[in-house]
Amino acid sequence: MRNKATIELDDLPKGIQRSRALPDARLGALWDSIILDERLKSQLLSQAVLNFTLRGKVDRSVIPLHGVILLVGPPGTGKTSLARGLAHRTAESFPGGTFRLLEVEPHTLTSSAMGKTQRAVSDLFSQSIAEAAMAGPTIVLLDEVETLAADRSKMSLEANPIDIHRATDAVLVQLDLLADQHPNLLFVATSNFPQAVDSAFTSRCDLVMPIPLPDRDACSRILKDCLTGLSRTYPAIGKLASAPQFDRCAGECVGLDGRAIRKMVANALASSPQTAMNPGQVTIEDIFNAARAAKASRLAGGKEK
């Protein structure tokens, strides 16, 4: 059934993948599911809230906020989930507000025919996003922003068409215009490759927050959360979280990102055709072996680079 609060792809302007009314409890669950130092979460939320309390009231010559937050870190560390969750938590901080979250899909813009990317980017920002911001407080997710704001200094014109170069210029021009005209707008951008993001974009960010790989304690909590979640379907899995070897498993996860830890558990459930048929039979040894294999393949991958 179509959810009225969510506008589907067909009805959306080019470049916007999804538009939804906030707050949205599902995004709140996402925010809670990402295990991260509470101080970082609190800093992130405070910066986003300040965007909406301060910018409409204090002149940009005093505090030059652009309304852009950038999350950078290795793939699978929860950046996209945090960005969506942040939108929800920010909206929730202003009861009675009519916040919306727009999700931009940069690839649909840059896959346009030569010469059209710049135009597509300009239209997206100056029309679709500006219109949303006029209708009410708006948060825009710019996922994997390096696609849109690619570092112009590192671009070879051969490998990267001049079109992308112009797209980066267009993003910067539009960000400046929007920052001036729409204090009710916040961009939350993510990047797996901060070195690929143009420094003029980074310098416009009000906060650049590195999202780290989970440390020992976070690995343990992610693994526990994953097993507890599975135990809702397969009650026998619940006891693995308190098994004596659990700590060794968690230790073996250090060096993996959050997504890889959860996928590793899926690999353990698929450690034999019998376990795959009856996932509740998974053992703590299966998990340990899967964690070790995931780490080994990660290390092998790392050496090749």
Ligand X SMILES: Nc1ncnc2c1ncn2[C@@H]1O[C@H](COP(=O)(O)OP(=O)(O)O)[C@@H](O)[C@H]1O
Which C-beta is closer to ligand X: that of 52 or that of 187? 187
Contact 141, 101 (CB under 8 A): yes
Q: Which tokens hold the place of 204?
A: 């416009």
Q: Which tokens hold the place of 197?
A: 């993001």
Among 75, 115, 210, 235, binds ligand X (CB under 6 A): 75
Cα–Cα distance, 76 to 47 (Å, whole number): 23
Q: Does 147 bind ligand X (CB under 6 A)?
A: no
Contact 186, 52 (CB under 8 A): yes
Q: Give the residue at shortest CB distance from Mg ion.
A: 80
Which does residue 41 touch among ligand X, Mg ion, none (CB within 5 to 8 A, set by kind)? none
Pick from 104, 38, 78, 55: which is nearest to 211 by CA? 78
**Options 28-36, 73-81, 152-160, 212-220: segment touching Mg ion (CB under 5 A):** 73-81
Which C-beta is closer to ligand X: that of 94 or that of 193? 193
Site for ligand X in 24-43 (CB under 6 A): 33-36
Q: List, in order, residues 6 or more apart from 223 with CB less than 8 Å away.
A: 241, 246, 249, 250, 253, 261, 265, 287
Site for ligand X in 245-304 (CB under 6 A): 258-259, 262
**Options 54-62, 74-82, 120-128, 228-236: segment touching ligand X (CB under 6 A):** 74-82
**Options 15-23, 79-87, 120-128, 231-239: segment touching Mg ion (CB under 5 A):** 79-87
Give residue for tokens 């945090």: 82
Q: Does 55 bind ligand X (CB under 6 A)?
A: no
Contact 302, 283 (CB under 8 A): no
Cα–Cα distance, 100 to 22 (Å, whole number): 5
Question: What are the Cα distances from residue 301, in Å, to 194, 201, 214, 263, 291?
Answer: 20, 30, 19, 17, 15
Among 23, 78, 137, 183, binds ligand X (CB under 6 A): 78
Q: Does 80 bind Mg ion (CB under 5 A)?
A: yes
Which C-beta is closer to ligand X: that of 64 or that of 229? 229
Which C-beta is closer to ligand X: that of 106 or that of 183? 106
| Residue ranges binding ligand X (CB under 6 A) | 33-36, 75-81, 190, 214, 222, 258-259, 262
| Residue ranges binding Mg ion (CB under 5 A) | 80
